[in-house]
C-alpha cells in the first residue's frame, strides 16, 4: 500500500472554467425563458449552457469561452475519481470565467450524471457551498485566482498551454514532485479562446505537454497519470499498487 500524505502535494486548478449562472442581460431571452419554464426555475438560478442558450449567448462578450459546464464536469470527474485524489495527493480548485474560485474536498463524490451535476453546481453558485448545512464538500472561496493560491500556498504555479515550453509529461511530474515543495498545475476548462490576463499573470511558467491543442479533460488525465506513475501508484506492469 502507498502511504497517504497528510496534506496534498499538488493542486489542480481548472482555470477560466466555463461555469456560470445565466447572466442578467440575457435572462429574458426566449431561449432562456423556455428552459426556465421547463425546469421550473428562475432564469438567473440556472447554469448557462450553450446547447440550450446558443441564440441568447450571441449577445454576450467572450461568448466563445462560455456556456460549457460539460467541460468542467469531465475535468472535475477526472481529478476527483483518480487514484491520485483517493490517496490524498491532490487538491482540486475550479476558477470560473467570472473569477469565482471553488474548492472541492478530495472525498466528494461528484455526480456522474450530467443533469445532477448541473443541479449541484446551481446550488453551489447560488449559496456558496454544498451542502447548505453540515460538513462542507464544495465551497466558493471568493473571487480571484489568488484565493486558490492563498489557500494552497504553492511554491510554483505551472500553466499548461500549447504555447508553452515543450516538456514530457513524466518530466513535468518529476519537476512538480521534486524537492518536497507544493505545486499548482493550471489547466484550461473552456472550449475556445485564450487564457485571461489574470491566469497568465498568476503563472510562474507555461508548459506544453503535447504538440497541439488538447481538450481540458485529456490534458488533466495525462497529468494525473504521469503524477501517479512517478509517485509509484502503479507497478511496472501498470497494475495498481
Averaged over 99-107, what is the pLDDT? Answer: 95
CATH of the domain at 81: 3.40.1280.10
Print the domain residue range for 34.
24-65
**Residue 99: inside a domain, yes or no?**
yes
Whether residues 35 and 106 fall in one domain: no
What is the value of pTM for the model shown? Answer: 0.92
Q: Strands across the sheet with 183-188, in order?
A: 129-130, 138-143, 100-104, 90-96, 10-17, 183-188, 156-166, 205-208
For the segment 151-181, what is each residue's pLDDT rounded down to a tens digit?
A: 999 999 999 999 999 999 999 999 999 877 8
Query: For the chain, how many helices (H) and strands (E)?
Result: 9, 8
If asked whether residues 38 and 105 sit together in one domain, one would say no
Using alpha carbons only, how large is the chain's radius of gyration in Å? 18
Question: SS3 for 39?
Answer: helix
Nearest to 173 by CA among 10, 8, 13: 10
- As a whole number, the mean pLDDT across the chain is 92
* CA separation for the pair 125, 148 (Å, rounded): 16
Judge if 90 and 179 occupy the same domain.
Answer: yes
Position 39 pLDDT exceeds 90: yes
Do both 100 and 147 map to the same domain? yes
Residue found under cell 499573470: 201
What was the pLDDT predicted at 5? 47
76 shares its domain with 150? yes
Reported as a pLDDT band with limits 50, 70 and 90, residue 235 is low
Give which of 37, 98, 89 is closest to 66, Cα–Cα: 98
Long-range pairs, 146-149, Cβ under 8 A, ≥24: 146/202, 147/101, 148/11, 148/13, 148/93, 148/95, 148/101, 148/103, 148/184, 149/184, 149/202
Same domain, 32 and 81: no
- What residue has cell string 499498487? 241
185 found inside a domain:
yes
Residue 4 is predicted with a pLDDT of 45
Same domain, 52 and 166: no
In a domain, 165, yes or no: yes
Sign of the alpha-carbon dihedral angle for 128, 130, 134, 135: negative
- Considering the domain architecture, whether residues 35 and 85 belong to the same structural domain is answered as no
Handedness of CA 35, 40, 42, 45 (dihedral sign): negative
Mean pLDDT of 58-64: 90
217 and 179 belong to one structural domain: yes
Same domain, 75 and 148: yes
Q: Give percent of the chain above pLDDT 90.
A: 87
* Residue 130 is assigned to a structural domain of this protein: no
> How many domains does the chain fold into?
2
Amino acid at each position: 500500500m502507498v502511504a497517504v500524505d497528510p496534506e496534498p502535494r499538488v493542486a489542480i486548478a481548472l482555470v477560466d472554467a466555463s461555469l456560470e449562472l445565466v447572466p442578467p442581460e440575457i435572462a429574458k431571452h426566449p431561449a432562456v425563458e423556455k428552459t426556465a419554464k421547463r425546469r421550473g426555475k428562475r432564469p438567473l438560478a440556472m447554469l448557462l449552457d450553450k446547447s440550450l442558450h446558443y441564440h441568447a449567448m450571441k449577445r454576450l462578450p467572450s461568448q466563445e469561452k462560455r456556456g460549457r459546464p460539460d467541460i468542467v464536469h469531465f475535468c472535475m470527474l477526472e481529478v476527483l475519481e483518480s487514484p491520485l485524489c483517493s490517496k490524498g495527493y491532490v487538491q482540486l480548485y475550479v476558477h470560473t470565467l467570472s473569477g469565482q474560485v471553488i474548492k472541492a474536498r478530495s472525498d466528494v463524490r461528484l455526480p456522474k450524471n450530467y443533469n445532477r451535476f448541473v443541479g449541484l453546481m446551481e446550488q453551489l453558485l447560488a449559496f456558496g457551498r454544498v451542502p447548505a448545512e453540515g460538513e462542507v464538500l464544495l465551497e466558493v472561496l471568493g473571487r480571484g485566482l489568488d484565493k486558490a493560491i492563498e489557500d494552497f500556498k504553492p511554491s510554483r504555479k505551472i500553466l499548461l498551454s500549447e504555447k508553452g515550453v515543450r516538456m514530457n509529461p513524466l518530466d513535468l511530474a518529476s519537476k512538480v514532485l521534486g524537492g518536497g515543495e507544493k505545486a499548482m498545475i493550471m489547466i484550461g476548462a473552456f472550449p475556445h479562446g485564450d487564457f485571461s490576463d489574470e491566469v497568465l499573470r498568476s503563472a510562474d511558467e507555461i508548459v506544453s505537454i503535447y504538440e497541439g491543442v488538447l481538450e481540458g479533460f485529456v490534458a488533466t488525465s495525462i497529468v494525473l497519470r504521469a503524477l501517479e506513475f512517478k509517485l509509484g501508484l502503479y507497478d511496472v506492469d501498470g497494475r495498481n499498487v
